[in-house]
Structure 1
Amino acid sequence: MLRGIRGATTVSNNEEKEIVLATEKLLKVMIDENDIHPEQVTSVFISVTEDLTATFPAKALRNIKGWAYVPVMCMREIPVPGSLPLCIRIMLHFNTDKKQSEIQHIYLNKAVTLRPDLHSNQNVNK
């Protein structure tokens, strides 16, 4: 079965190092919490709000051992007035036997406000 995992985080500044580090941290938590191996992954989509222009957050994926060949694409989030600024969102598609209800969606930093119904308090400070 192909499943999707949502994740999001925020950064404080539009700086390359901060964007890559925050994205890498989010990816690692998504991977660990859902026991994902790169061979299971179909694709990863990463979107950023329009205020993040310093780098492609997909660079973070290349920092994770074994993930060099996973297809990844970056895109811009729709600039809805009042939406959460400085936000990086990830949609990771992977093959698994897990039920939809077993998927752990991860929201870090200020992104915890996006979908409080999909995460537990354990994800708030990871």
Structure 2
Amino acid sequence: MAVRAVRGATQLDIDDEQHMYDRVTELVTEVLAANSLTVDDFISIIFTSTDDLRSAFPAFAARQLGFTDVPLMCARELEIEGGMPRAVRLMAHVETDLSRADVTHVYLHGAADLRRDLTRVRTHEDA
């Protein structure tokens, strides 16, 4: 069993508490499904959000999904001119038998534009 990092991101339409929880829940659920993971496979998750998101902590959505004893951390994304607004990113450390090349990184909604080179992207139209 190896330790792997899984990346993901989503973009919110508005800064709203329930919308934050819905989008982060969707993101974490997609990461689980895309990589055949369970909560027990997770070592930790780091969430970042852009400065324009202030309504809720992204980690709260993961807690509601059962990540009660997984260390979670929230941080601010760098404020870069021209950067994507209303974005939540995650980097999860997991134990898995997947090779590094077989890990599926998940980018949803507008965040799909961040990493078109990765295999699992979904746009707003796909939702």
TM range (shorter): over 0.9
Does structure 1 residue 80 correspond to structure 2 residue 80? Answer: yes
Tell me the TM-score normalised to structure 1 length: 0.93
Cα distance in structure 1, aligned partners of 2:33 and 2:97: 16
Shift of 1:97: 1.5
Match of 1:103 in 2: 103
Match of 1:68 in 2: 68
Alignment CA distance shift 1:120-1:57 (3 Å) = closer
Matched AA of 1:105: H
Matched AA of 1:11: L
Q: Deviations over 1:79-105 (max 9, x none)?
A: 000000000001011011111110110
Gaps of 5+ in 1: none
Q: Does the 8 Å contact 1:48/1:88 carry over to 2?
A: yes
SS at match of 1:6: strand
Within-5 A mapping of 1:1-126: 1-64=2-65, 66-120=66-120, 123-124=122-123, 125=126
Q: Which one has a larger percent strand, Structure 1 or Structure 2?
A: 2
Cα distance in structure 2, aligned partners of 1:18 and 1:67: 19
Q: CA RMSD in A?
A: 1.2
Cα distance in structure 1, aligned partners of 2:47 and 2:82: 20
Tell me the TM-score normalised to structure 2 length: 0.92
What stretches of structure 1 move > 2 A for 4+ residues in a row?
123-126
Identity of aligned residues (%): 31
How many residue pairs are counted as aligned between the two chains?
Answer: 124
Alignment CA distance shift 1:120-1:42 (3 Å) = closer
Shift of 1:62: 1.5
Q: Deviations over 1:14-52 (max 9, x none)?
A: 111101110000000000110111221110000000100
SS at match of 2:117: helix
